[in-house]
């Protein structure tokens, strides 16, 4: 049974920080085809469109019938672990730093045998549930988990490498003035974050929920105005070296498009917070996080952005807001590549319209703050790179995956 | 679909295998594969009493020739062969090279084929070789702990031990016997005796594989000649005849884990074509990159049934004077693994034993040897296998 994870000791300021290394990065293009499913937490492999054989390792033609019609699709995740090893010696620097490393051979019920990361609580031989996750180099890898789950199992060191669990980590929530921000703070405390910095712009202005925030253990209110470069830099100077996770909950939202909208001045305010605010966060906190990606139990782990799903396709009723979201999405893609050398993940949490004062005219279903909060925690705990909160976000994502142009036309009617 | 009637295998007429050459191994060396192969070809020519330009066929196996191939080697080393082959099959290279060369000689496409394998081993060579080994390994095995061959064979060993009750003592017995044999071989890279206790107490590498289950990567070369019986006699060379050979790739793809190799598909034909039974074999050279594969070969080569490997090991002794002389120069486990030359080691040693040229302790009355090759962990299992029965030509 699992040893529970212990809180990390206070860092010795004289000890060198373990430099981040990445697991092997090279992949064939077919193997990269599994990244999308892994990013969304779906267990999917190639399946032959001609004969139905599940193909693994990823390949360019079906070994059963030589068809080249191989598409990645969800497959049953059950299997039998038939062999195991614990690797203690390797020439790879990433695994060398993390040895011993348990590896198994699993015969999937859907066909292939797979070499896989093996959870320490899996008995061999024995049944397993497989998951597909992104490793720190951003590639899809498999892990075999026990078929029954208990909370301490999340502490498995290999699983922690494939996720960004908030447990024992220090998290900055960038805007805790809103109900969404406060729900995220609360959920992170519940998920055993060791400290949550709750960012508040212009702290002298009163806001609802302040007392509760101040009364919560392991929460510390910090001044943070994402529209002000010196505010962001000053906070980074103070807590940047011990910020393991950032959850950006800031979002400036106003209805309207380009012709029927509030004009450039308001659009500028939206971009200032939603887009340049993200950039300020990234440039001020990013370097330290990237350097601390392998810094023990409370290493830097993830940058989470909560953004509108209309980043994927413009919703003209909130056209300018959608445009800021699109810019934000593009910046996240850039940041993901920039943080990868440190093994720090960038997780996008796409939401449908949130239940708030600016969206009173939007018909339901709308997203409640606690839904967003639990999606953020789940994304961290399971290492999900793209999650979609609420029915609208899931619907938009499905339509986007089908055909972006059709989606644009649908949203424009 | 129509039923295909496979052409029956047939044996070899008038083929001689001769001049076993080993260029003594070094753990690390700054020399290139070209250097090692040149040394081996020079030794082949010198011992045959001819010029290297007389080789009209050349078969090359090497992992470290890049950016050159066998073609570049002809110009580099001044050969003008009319038959050229490259056999990139790791541990199965020698058997496959011999098969092809023998048919070339029979058909008249070549008359003297130099078969050579050699590899460099600079500091860090092994790590670089691993990182570019195969696409499936890159995509689907190295990202999981990066154990390289140790990790892959650890899984096979674990499964074999669970299924058939093999113990570490059984594997240890094989390793200790090979070390005993190696101590009689002046070229072996391992010079110290190995006890079963030392084997059992060695540090774990990838459970259940421990230090003495692993070969030592090194630099070196191995070579032999394939020619006609007449030419061998004219040159006054002791030779052996290949009685039969087999070769198989990607056998049993639906086995969930490898517990048998390609030999299991073809072994009956090997003995049928050779016209001998397993008990007529005087010594056996298996591919021993991990002792579990040795045990699998005992089963798949017909010396015992599947699952009886552990009992077979317990009831025999494996030194050169034992009841089942095996890996008589120490095998790769004790003589070293010089890259692709590791695939040649057993064949070259067997050729020495059956032609009375042994460097290690001679096996008494050694006339027939079975040599088996195994190679290329492309993903989760070894894909290439082959075997040959060699019979020394009585002078």
For the segment A101-122, what is each residue's pLDDT rounded down to a tens digit?
A: 999 999 999 999 999 999 999 9
pLDDT tens digit sequence for A311-355? 999 999 999 999 999 999 999 999 999 999 999 999 999 999 998
Q: State the nearest Cα–Cα gap between A81 and chain B, in angstroms.
A: 10
ipTM of the complex in this document: 0.94
Residues of A in contact with B154 (CB under 8 A): 85, 87
Interface contact flag, A87 B147, Cβ < 8 Å: yes
Say if residue B1's pLDDT is above 80: no
* A365-386: average pLDDT: 97
CB A342 within 8 A of CB A295: no
Q: Where are the domains of chain A?
A: 29-162, 170-411
Interface contact B155-A116, CB threshold 8 A: no
Query: Sorting pLDDT into bands at 50, 70 and 90, what band is A361?
Result: confident
Domain B140-215+242-392 -> CATH class: alpha beta
Residue B249: its chain A contacts at CB < 8 A? none
Distance to chain A for B22, nearest Cα, Å: 29
A105: nearest CB among B138, B155, B205: B155
One-letter-per-residue 3-state SS of chain A: CCCCCCCCCCCCCCCCCCCCCCCCCCCCHHHHCCHHHHHCCCCEEEEECCCCCEECCCCCCCCCCCCCCEEEEECCCEEEEEEEEEECCCCCHHHHHHCCEEEEEEEECCCCEEEEEECCCCCCCEEEEEEEEECCCCCEEEEEECCCCCHHHHHCHHHHHHCCCCCCCEEEECCCCCHHHHHHHHHHHHCCCCEEEEEECCCCCCCCCHHHHHHCCCEEEEECCCCCHHHHHHHHHHHHHHCCEEEECCCCCCCCCCCCCCCHHHHHHHHHHHHHHHHHHHHHHHHHHHHCCCCCCCCCCEEEEEEEHHHCCCCHHHHHHHHHHHHHHHHHHHHHHHHHHHCCEEEEEEECCECCHHHCCCCCCCECHHHHHHHHHHHHHHCCCEEEEHHHHHHHHHHHHHCHHHHHHHHCC
| CB contacts, 8 Å: A94 with chain B | 146
Nearest to A28 among B126, B135, B158 (CB): B135
pLDDT tens-digit readout, B46-84: 999 999 999 999 999 999 999 999 999 999 999 999 999
The beta-carbon neighbor of A88 closest among B142, B204, B379 is B204
* Mean pLDDT (chain A, rounded): 96
Confidence of residue A262 (pLDDT cuts 50, 70, 90): confident
Chain B nearest C-alpha distance from A117 (Å): 6
Confidence of residue A256 (pLDDT cuts 50, 70, 90): very high
Per-residue pLDDT tens over the stretch A184-203: 999 999 999 999 999 999 99
Question: Best of B144, B160, B161, B255 to disrupt the A interface by mutation (most A CBs within 10 Å)?
Answer: B144
CB contact (8 A) between residue B146 and residue A26: no
Instruction: Grade residue B122 by pLDDT with cuts at 50, 70 and 90.
Output: confident
Inspect the interface and report whether the beta carbons of A95 and B146 lie closer than 8 Å: yes
Domain spanning A170-411 has what CATH number?
3.40.50.720
Collect all residues of chain A within an 8 Å Cβ-Cβ radius of residue B205: 88-89
Closest C-alpha to A119, from A76, A93, A149, A78: A149
CATH class of B15-124+219-234: alpha beta
Name chain A contacts of B131, Cβ cutoff 8 Å: 24, 26
Q: What is the mean pLDDT of chain B?
A: 96
* Closest Cα in chain A to B135: A28
Could you state, in order of their start, the residue ranges of all structural domains in chain B? 15-124+219-234, 140-215+242-392
Residues of B with CB under 8 A from a CB of A: 126-127, 130-131, 135-136, 138-148, 150-152, 154-156, 158-159, 162, 203-209, 253, 256-257, 379-380
CA distance B379 to chain A (A): 8
């Amino acid at each position: 049974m699992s040893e529970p994870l212990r809180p990390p000791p206070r860092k010795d300021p004289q000890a060198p920080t373990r430099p981040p290394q990445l697991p092997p990065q090279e992949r064939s293009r077919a193997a990269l085809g599994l990244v999308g499913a892994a990013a969304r937490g779906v267990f999917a492999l190639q399946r032959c469109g001609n004969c139905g054989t599940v193909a693994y390792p990823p390949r360019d033609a079906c070994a059963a019938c030589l068809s080249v019609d191989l598409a990645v699709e969800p497959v049953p995740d059950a299997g039998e672990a038939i062999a195991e090893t614990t690797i203690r010696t390797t020439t790879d620097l990433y695994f060398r730093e993390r040895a011993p490393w348990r590896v198994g051979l699993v015969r999937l019920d859907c066909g292939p045998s797979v070499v896989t990361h093996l959870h320490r609580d899996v008995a061999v031989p024995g049944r397993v549930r497989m998951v597909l996750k992104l490793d720190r180099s951003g590639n899809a890898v498999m892990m075999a988990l026990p078929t029954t789950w208990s909370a301490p199992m999340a502490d498995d060191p290999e699983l922690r490498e494939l996720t960004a669990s908030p447990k024992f980590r220090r998290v900055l929530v960038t805007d805790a003035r809103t109900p969404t921000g406060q729900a995220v703070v609360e959920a992170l405390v519940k998920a055993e974050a060791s400290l949550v910095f709750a960012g508040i712009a212009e702290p002298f202005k009163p806001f609802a929920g302040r007392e509760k925030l101040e009364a919560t253990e392991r929460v510390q209110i910090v001044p943070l105005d994402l529209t002000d470069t010196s505010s962001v830099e000053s906070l980074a100077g103070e807590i940047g070296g011990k910020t393991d996770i950032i959850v950006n909950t800031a979002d400036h939202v106003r209805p309207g498009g380009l012709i029927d909208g509030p004009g450039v001045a308001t659009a500028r305010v939206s971009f200032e917070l939603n887009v340049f605010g993200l950039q300020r966060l990234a440039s001020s906190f990013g370097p330290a996080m990237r350097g601390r990606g392998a810094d023990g139990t409370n290493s830097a782990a993830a940058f989470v952005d909560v953004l509108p799903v209309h980043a994927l396709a413009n919703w003209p009723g909130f056209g300018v807001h959608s445009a800021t979201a699109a810019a934000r999405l593009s910046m996240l893609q850039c940041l993901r590549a920039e943080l990868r050398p440190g093994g720090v993940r960038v997780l996008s949490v796409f939401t449908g319209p949130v239940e708030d004062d600016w969206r009173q005219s939007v018909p339901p279903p709308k997203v409640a703050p606690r839904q967003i909060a639990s999606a953020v925690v789940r994304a961290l705990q399971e290492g999900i790179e793209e999650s979609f909160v609420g029915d609208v976000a899931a619907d938009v994502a499905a339509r986007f995956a089908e055909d972006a142009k059709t989606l644009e036309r649908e949203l424009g009617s | 679909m129509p039923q295909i009637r496979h052409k029956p295998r047939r044996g070899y007429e008038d083929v001689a295998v001769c001049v076993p050459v080993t260029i003594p191994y070094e753990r690390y060396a700054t020399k290139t594969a070209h250097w090692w192969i040149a040394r081996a070809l020079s030794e082949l020519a010198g011992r045959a009493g001819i010029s290297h330009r007389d080789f009209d066929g050349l078969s090359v196996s090497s992992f470290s020739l890049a950016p050159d191939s066998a073609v570049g080697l002809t110009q580099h080393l001044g050969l003008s062969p009319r038959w050229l082959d490259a056999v990139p099959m790791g541990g199965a290279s020698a058997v496959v090279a011999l098969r092809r060369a023998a048919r070339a000689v029979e058909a008249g496409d070549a008359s003297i084929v130099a078969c050579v394998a050699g590899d460099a081993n600079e500091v860090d060579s092994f790590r670089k070789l691993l990182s570019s080994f195969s696409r499936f390994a890159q995509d689907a095995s190295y990202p999981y702990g990066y154990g390289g061959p140790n990790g892959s064979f650890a899984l096979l060993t674990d499964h074999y031990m669970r299924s058939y009750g093999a113990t570490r003592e059984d594997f240890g017995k094989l390793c200790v016997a090979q070390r005993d044999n190696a101590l009689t071989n002046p070229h072996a890279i391992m010079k110290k005796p190995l006890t079963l206790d030392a084997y059992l107490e060695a540090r774990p590498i990838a459970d259940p594989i421990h230090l003495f289950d692993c070969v030592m990567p090194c630099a070196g070369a191995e070579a032999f000649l394939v020619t006609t019986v007449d030419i061998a006699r004219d040159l006054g060379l002791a030779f052996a005849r290949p009685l039969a050979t087999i070769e198989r790739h990607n056998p049993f793809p639906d086995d969930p884990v490898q517990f048998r190799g390609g030999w299991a598909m073809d072994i009956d034909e090997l003995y049928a074509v050779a016209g001998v039974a397993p008990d007529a074999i005087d010594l056996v050279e298996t591919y021993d990159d991990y002792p579990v594969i040795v045990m699998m070969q005992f089963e798949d080569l017909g010396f015992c049934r599947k699952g009886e490997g552990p009992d077979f090991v317990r009831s025999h002794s494996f030194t050169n004077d034992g009841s089942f002389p095996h890996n008589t120069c120490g095998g790769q486990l004790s003589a070293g693994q010089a890259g692709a030359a590791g695939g040649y080691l057993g064949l070259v040693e067997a050729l020495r034993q059956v032609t009375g040229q042994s460097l290690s302790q001679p096996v008494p009355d050694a006339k027939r040897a079975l040599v088996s090759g195994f190679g290329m962990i492309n993903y989760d299992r070894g894909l290439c296998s082959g075997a040959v029965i060699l019979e020394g030509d009585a002078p």
